[in-house]
Structure 1
Amino acid sequence: MQKIYLVIGSLLAGLAVALGAFGAHGLKKIVSSETVAVYQTGVQYQMYHALALILVGILSDRIYNGFVSYAGVLFVAGVILFSGSLYLIVSMNAMNKTVPTALGILTPVGGLFFILGWVCLIVGLLKK
């Protein structure tokens, strides 16, 4: 399982760099600075949790228990829901489309998954 976390973490980190570059150079030409800030929040949290996923992959080799593994799953789900929803909201704003309320609800759910992932990681480390 650790190899999967290492690969997914590396892919998410590389994608965060590419998305961040787009946000810094291309996106600011088509949306407001407030919207770019929302997008950058998504990129930052994606990078933080991509690195956390790489950490989970490394720790999975040394500490094998379900909590460490659950942390990885929760980090991936958090990136998809938190960062993904922010990217969709910004994309819809850029296209002058109405953002559905349900889409905005995904962001805090993704944030909750991040928090639960960190809690699982702590519990997994303490159970060693």
Structure 2
Amino acid sequence: MTQQILISTAAIFGLLAVIFGAFGAHALKKILSPEQLKSFEVGVRYQMYHAIVLLVLGFNSKQTSPAIYWCFTIGILLFSFSIYGLVMSDALEKKLRILGPITPIGGLLLAIGWGLLLLNVI
């Protein structure tokens, strides 16, 4: 995985996390219940954590395997974005239940990414 791809992906996810976080704190605060807002914030937080990890990996790209990159990237998309979809669809009273099983798959990919990172260092 090239340094440019890693850092670009990190920047996109970081940018979106800031935008979604601000959107949640201001616009959605009036629409979402406290529980829904808390779930939305979990998605934003995990997205930002992993954007930062991708950024750090970008500065060490020679030691980063493509598998780590893909686990984190797909994990963010499945975990955080399914949470956004679940929260928003619930708020609109049209809950997309199909997204429910996607969230833990994303979380599993994030965990696998961390495990691969550990193995890569060892």
TM bracket (short chain) = over 0.9
> Would you say 1:39 and 2:40 are equivalent positions?
yes
User: TM-score by structure 1 length?
Assistant: 0.90
Question: C-alpha offsets along residues 41-100 of structure 1, whole Å, 9 cap, x if unaligned?
Answer: 000000000011112211113x26xxx321111000011000010000011012111332
Unaligned runs of 5+ in 2: none
User: In structure 2, what is the equivalent of residue 70 of structure 1?
Assistant: 67
Q: Does 1:84 align with 2:81?
A: yes
Partner of 2:93: 96
Aligned amino acid, residue 103 of structure 1: L
Which amino acid is the alignment partner of residue 17 of structure 1? V
State how many pairs are aligned.
121
- The alignment-based identity, stated in percent, is 40
Q: In 2, distance between residues paired with 1:53 and 1:72?
A: 7
Normalized against structure 2, the TM-score is what? 0.94
- Stretches of structure 1 that go unaligned for 5 or more consecutive residues are none
Contact 1:56–1:69 under 8 Å retained in 2: no
Query: How many angstroms apart in 1 are the aligned matches of 2:10 and 2:24?
Result: 21
Query: Cα RMSD between the aligned structures?
Result: 1.1
After the TM superposition, which segments of 4 or more aligned residues of structure 1 sit over 2 Å from their partners? none
Cα distance in 2 for partners of 1:106, 1:89 equals 10
Q: Deviations over 1:94-128 (max 9, x none)?
A: 2111332x3100111100000000011111112xx
